[in-house]
Homo-oligomer: A and B are copies of this chain.
Amino acid sequence: MSGYPSNTESIAADQLLSIVERIERLQEEIDDLNVGKADIYREARGNGFDVKVLRKVIAIRRQDHAERMEQEAILDLYLTALGSHVRARGDDE
C-alpha cells in the first residue's frame, strides 16, 4: 500500500543491480579477451599460418589437457562395468 518502496524491495533492487553489473563487467572482460584472440589469429594469418589448423591444434591440446587422463579413468570404469575391477592404479590427477 505504501507509495514508497519497502526496505525489502529496495534491498532486492540493490542486489539485483549489483548482480547484473557484476555479470556485465565480467562479460565485458570476456569480450575484450575474445577480441585479443581474434587479433592473434589475424596476426598469425598475416604470418602465413593456417588459422583453421591452429584452432584444431589448440582444441586438441585443450582436450589432451583434461580429457586424455579422463579417458583412462573411463577405461577403468568401463572394465569395472564389465565386472573385472582388477586394475590397481596409484596415481591420480
Q: Which residues of A contact B (CB under 8 A)?
A: 1-10, 12-13, 15-17, 19-20, 22-24, 26-27, 29-30, 33-34, 36-37, 40-41, 43-44, 47, 49-50, 52-54, 56-58, 60-62, 71, 74-75, 77-79, 81-90, 92-93
Contacts and interface: CB of A to CB of B under 8 A. Distances in A.
Contacts of A13: 81-82, 85, 87
Contacts of A50: 71, 74, 77, 81
B12 A82 contact: yes
Nearest to A59: B74
Nearest to A3: B88
Contact of A74 (B19, B22, B56, B85): B56
